[in-house]
Structure formats: C-alpha cells, structure tokens
Amino acid sequence: MASIFSKIISGELPSYKIAETDEFLAFLDINPNAKGHTLCIPKKEVNKIFDLDEKSYLDLMVFSRKVAIAIEKAIPCKRVGMTVVGLEVPHVHVHLIPLNSMEDIRFLNKASLTTQEFQNTVKAIKAYL
C-alpha cells in the first residue's frame, strides 16, 4: 500500500509544498514542532534512510540543505536543526526544524498554525529558494 507521503507526491493527499524536483519533495509538516518545520522526502518509496542507495542518500542531503538554508533566512530562529526518525511514517523523510531551544527538536511541544499561517510560511520560505 502506498505510504501517506506517496499519496502526497501523487497529489491524492494535499500538502503545503515548498520545493520539488524529479526525485525529491519538500513540504510543511502538518503537525509542526515549530513554524517552518519541513519534511524532505525522496519520491522513491523507501522505508529507512540508510537503506537508500548512496547517491539517493547524498542527493537527499543536498536537496535538504538547500531547503534548510531558505528556512533559516525566512523563519526567525537560532538555527535549523535536522533529524531523521521515521517511526510514524515508513517513507524516508528528513525533518528540518527552526530551533530556538532544545524543546523545538523534542517532538513534544507542537505549534498550532492556521491555514493562512501555513500558506504564509510556504510563501516566505519559497522566496529564498
């Protein structure tokens, strides 16, 4: 069965898209730790990040870095943190999270954003891509 993220790639499920290439997609996390929390995924559906072939892994890092640099310019924060978990969705995804404190990377506190705030966040980040 296709993962939730494959359904986002195909357009079956909606998302707030930040960036897209033939191989990768970046979109806002629907339940963000902080405003600007973004997921970068390969379009190829692979469960665990270290099962990606080396080129896809490195290309995902290059793609994620570009997105992270844009997030850091667009969203006031001390830095953008990167983490990979994957316990909820079995489709490789890199979390890029604007950090102001350790709390922001702990997946305990969540930011509640309106549709308008999600849309404004997309616009703000895309302006730096």
Residue 69 or 105 with smaller CB distance to ligand 5GP:
105
Residue 28 or 122 with smaller CB distance to ligand 5GP:
28
- Nearest by Cα to 27 from 108, 116, 118, 107: 118
**Rounded least distance, CB 107 to ligand 5GP, Å:** 7
Structure-token match 């709390």, residue found: 103
Chain residues in the site for ligand 5GP (CB under 6 A) = 4, 13, 15, 27-31, 85-89, 93
Q: Which one from 37, 91, 93, 95 is the annotated catalytic residue? A: 93
Q: Where are the beta strands (DSSP E) in the chain?
A: 17-20, 24-28, 38-42, 79-83, 94-99
Structure-token match 């973004």, residue found: 38
**Rounded least distance, CB 23 to ligand 5GP, Å:** 19
Residue 15 or 56 with smaller CB distance to ligand 5GP:
15
**Rounded least distance, CB 66 to ligand 5GP, Å:** 19
Angle at 125 between CA 122 and CA 126, to 5 degrees: 80
Contact status, residue 31 vs residue 113, Cβ threshold 8 Å:
no
Task: State residue 128 phi and psi, 5-degree precision.
Answer: -105, 5
Clarify whether 91 is annotated catalytic: no
**Rounded least distance, CB 112 to ligand 5GP, Å:** 12
Residue 6 or 129 with smaller CB distance to ligand 5GP:
6
Instruction: Please list the active-site residues.
Output: 93
